[in-house]
């Protein structure tokens, strides 16, 4: 990415194919060598939208930075990702039971 012309958004961009924070599943074929096989079939969260060439990519064609727990982050094309169903949004926003351990809840 050319740092003089590239843009990285850590928040939603109107017209982008995904939203920051959205749960996704990495799809794809590793035969062409463009995908790290460790990510294929794994679920992750969109953390950024990257526009290497903003004049031609913005807003609908960013590289999508996805964080997969235990693996780290990588960039994907929208066609390499499957958006999670709407119910997954609510699950992603709810804290896991283990996150609640040790917290005192008001009566």
**40 close to 50: Cβ distance less than 8 angstroms:** no
pLDDT, tens digit, 9 for 90 and up, residues 27-59: 976 566 778 889 999 999 999 999 999 999 999
Q: How far apart are CA 102 and CA 80, in angstroms?
A: 39
pLDDT, tens digit, 9 for 90 and up, residues 65-99: 999 999 999 999 999 999 977 665 565 555 555 54
Tell me the mean pLDDT in the region 2-24: 88
pTM of the model: 0.75
């Amino acid at each position: 990415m050319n740092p003089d012309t590239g843009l990285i958004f850590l928040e939603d961009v109107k017209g982008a194919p995904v939203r920051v924070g959205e749960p996704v599943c990495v799809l794809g074929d590793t035969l062409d060598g463009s995908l790290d096989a460790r990510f294929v079939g794994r679920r992750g969260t969109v953390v950024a939208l990257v526009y290497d060439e903003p004049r031609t990519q913005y807003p609908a064609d960013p590289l999508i930075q996805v964080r997969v727990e235990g693996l780290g982050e990588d960039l994907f094309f929208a066609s390499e990702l499957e958006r999670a169903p709407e119910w997954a949004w609510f699950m992603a926003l709810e804290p896991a039971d283990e996150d609640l351990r040790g917290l005192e809840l008001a009566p």
